[in-house]
Amino acid sequence: MRQAGAGDAPTPGGTGLSLREPTTEEDPEVAVRTRKTRRTIVLAVAAVAVLVACTTVIVVSQGHEKYPWHTDIVSTTFWVGEIHDPDAEDGSQVYSTYDSRWMESYGGCDGIETADGCSTEPRVAGNGYFPSSMTPLENPFYLDLPFDDLNNPEAFAQRGTVIPWAAEEAADNPALLTSSRHSFMKNRWVKLRKGDAVCYGQIQDAGPALYDDSAYVFGEDDRRPASTEYNGAGLDVSPAINGCLGYSNLDGQDDRVDWQFVDAEDVPDGPWLRVITTSQVQ
The 10s digit of each residue's pLDDT in 68-122 is 999 999 999 999 999 866 666 666 788 999 999 999 999 999 999 998 899 999 9
Percent over 90 (pLDDT), the chain: 71
pLDDT band at 66 (very low <50, low <70, confident <90, very high): confident
**pLDDT higher than threshold 80 for residue 32:** no
What is the DSSP secondary-structure string of 155-190? HHHHHHHHSTTHHHHTTT-GGGGG-TT--SSTT-EE
Mean pLDDT taken over the chain: 84
The 10s digit of each residue's pLDDT in 176-231 is 999 999 999 999 999 999 999 999 999 999 999 999 999 999 999 999 999 999 99
**pLDDT higher than threshold 50 for residue 58:** no
User: DSSP letter at 116?
Assistant: T
Task: Supply the pLDDT for residue 19.
Answer: 44
Residue of 43 and 261 predicted with greater confidence: 261
Give the closest residue to 145 by CA, choosing from 134, 125, 159. Answer: 159
Residue of 41 and 117 predicted with greater confidence: 117
Length reported for the chain: 282
pLDDT band at 35 (very low <50, low <70, confident <90, very high): low
Cβ contacts of 25 within 8 Å, gap of 6 or more:
none
Q: Are the beta carbons of 204 and 99 closer than 8 angstroms?
A: yes
- d(CA 241, CA 252) in angstroms, rounded, equals 14
User: DSSP letter at 92?
Assistant: B
- d(CA 282, CA 270) in angstroms, rounded, equals 28
pTM score > 0.75 for this model? yes
Beta-bridge partners for 70: 259
Residue 242 DSSP SS3: helix
Report angle CA 95, 101, 105 to the nearest 5 degrees.
110
Give the closest residue to 238 by CA, choosing from 13, 30, 108, 79. Answer: 79
